[in-house]
Amino acid sequence: MDDALVLTRATAARTTVPRMGAGAVFGRAGMYPMRPMLEHAIWPRSVAPSFERDVLTGLSQVQKTIPSTWLYDHRGSELFEQITGLESYYPTRNEVQVLRASAREIAQAAGPRAIVIELGSGSSRKTRLLLDAFDTPQAYLPVDISEQFLHESVAELPSLYAGLRVIPIVADFTRIESLPELTFLHAAGADRGRRVVFFPGSTIGNFTPEAAVALLRRIRRWAGPDALLIVGADSTQDPAVLIPAYDDHEGITAEFNLNLLSRINRELMADFNLDAFRHEARFDAQRRRVEMHLVSRCAQRVNVLRHRFDFHAGESIHTENSYKHSLQRFQQLAARAGWVHAQRWIDGQARFAVHVLEPIGARDKPWMPA
């Protein structure tokens, strides 16, 4: 365990999981080749059309807004990776330390032959802490909106974990209603490992509380009654820590935010002048959230796909919310979505928590494939 961290375990993990006998319905010995595998999602999902809609609608609002999902093109994903390594961006560091210290106990809750689904997988680096600790995980399904970055990130995994099926899914995970890949896996002979949904990085904080509840509810539906949901959530409230984390001296977060305008220029035939906007991070203490804005330095007109948008000096495009839920608020939020805590881990600075959740009432139900 890292010296800087004192980990607190909130509640006891479930140790036994009611399951039907392995292979009773789907299993066929020898169906799984044991060589390293990297598979492709069998149901590709298109994400492109809504970029245009989101940008045009968002720029037409009184407070101009673009959903933060669109920050993650290939360059945006690279810049976010750089952010995670910054001294001032504590969430990644703290979460990794918590995961390192708790992985073994989380692995016990997950059980053998887990099917790990990661939402917003990015570099997939944190997942390896879990895969290393888990007892022969059988499949890893990373879901990310950035196709090229996703494939680059998972390319070496099959050679590192023999027998692990790696199925990258290019999708906006907020729109997922079902994962046919899971049905496919079972039909192709997967054992009845637990479905472990890994949602790290405090990405849950990028949703309003209402949207977060809706998302967690949806995950509960497609993940099934036997699922284990592992969520990383930042609960820091101190602006002296938060502002440097979202407006670093190196200017990487500024570049990350401004890259959205480059993307709009490139993909939507727009003419944003990047020098005419600046990055700003604000902390709204009442709403407990950090906001990212792109602030217009002057009065100007911008064209996007032949639509005109006027900005006055100081007017901003709101590009991201990062909610910092307290432990109690997160627990309430999860409960509203039908999840109950099995474990909770926090770092010694009480900044970052890893919540391990189960569907409410799951203990009483036998496992059934969705």
Residue 182 CA to residue 369 CA, distance in Å, equals 9
**Comparison of 5 and 204: residue with beta carbon closer to ligand AVI:** 204
**Comparison of 92 and 138: residue with beta carbon closer to ligand AVI:** 92
Q: Given the rule CB under 6 A, which of 1-9, 197-205, 236-244, 305-313 is the region that contacts ligand AVI? A: 197-205
Q: How far is the CB of 132 from ligand AVI (least distance, A)?
A: 23
**Binders of ligand AVI among 81-100, rule CB under 6 A?**
83, 91
**Comparison of 122 and 137: residue with beta carbon closer to ligand AVI:** 122
Q: How many CA atoms lie within 13 A of 304 on its CB side?
A: 22
Find residue 204's DSSP bridge partners: none
Residues 128-147 as x/- pattern, contact with ligand AVI by CB under 6 A: --------------------
- Answer whether 158's CB lies under 8 Å from 166's CB: yes
Q: Given the rule CB under 6 A, which of 5-13, 99-107, 203-211, 345-353 is the region that contacts ligand AVI? A: 203-211
Q: How far is the CB of 225 from ligand AVI (least distance, A)?
A: 28
Q: How far is the CB of 82 from ligand AVI (least distance, A)?
A: 10
Please report whether residue 352 would count as binding ligand AVI according to CB under 6 A: no
Q: How far is the CB of 209 from ligand AVI (least distance, A)?
A: 15
**Comparison of 51 and 89: residue with beta carbon closer to ligand AVI:** 89
Residue 86 CA to residue 152 CA, distance in Å, equals 22
3-state secondary structure the chain: CCCCCCCEECCCCCCCCCCCCCCCCCCCCCCCCCCCEECCCCCCCCCCHHHHHHHHHHHCCCCEECCHHHHCCHHHHHHHHHHHCCCCCHHHHHHHHHHHHHHHHHHHHHCCCCEEEEECCCCCHHHHHHHHHCCCCCEEEEEECCHHHHHHHHCCHHHHCCCCEECCEECCHHHCCCCHHHHHHHHCCCCCCCEEEEECCCHHHHCCHHHHHHHHHHHHHHHCCCCEEEEEEECCCCHHHHHHHHCCCCCHHHHHHHHHHHHHHHHCCECCCHHHEEEEEEEECCCCEEEEEEEECCCEEEEECCEEEEECCCCEEEEEEEECCCHHHHHHHHHHCCEEEEEEEECCCCCEEEEEEEECCHHHCCCCCC
Tell me which of 206, 236, 316, 343 binds ligand AVI, using CB under 6 A: 206
Q: How far is the CB of 248 from ligand AVI (least distance, A)?
A: 9
Please report whether residue 201 would count as binding ligand AVI according to CB under 6 A: yes
**Comparison of 76 and 338: residue with beta carbon closer to ligand AVI:** 76
**Binders of ligand AVI among 242-261, rule CB under 6 A?**
246, 253
**Comparison of 165 and 289: residue with beta carbon closer to ligand AVI:** 289
Helix axes 74-84, 147-154, angle to 10 degrees: 50
Q: How far is the CB of 189 from ligand AVI (least distance, A)?
A: 35
Please report whether residue 322 would count as binding ligand AVI according to CB under 6 A: yes
Please report whether residue 209 would count as binding ligand AVI according to CB under 6 A: no
Binding residue count for ligand AVI, defined by CB under 6 A = 11
Q: Given the rule CB under 6 A, which of 123-131, 200-208, 309-317, 324-332 is the region that contacts ligand AVI? A: 200-208
Please report whether residue 320 would count as binding ligand AVI according to CB under 6 A: yes
Q: Which residue has the closest beta carbon to ligand AVI?
A: 322
**Comparison of 88 and 300: residue with beta carbon closer to ligand AVI:** 88
Residue ranges binding ligand AVI (CB under 6 A):
83, 91, 201-203, 205-206, 246, 253, 320, 322
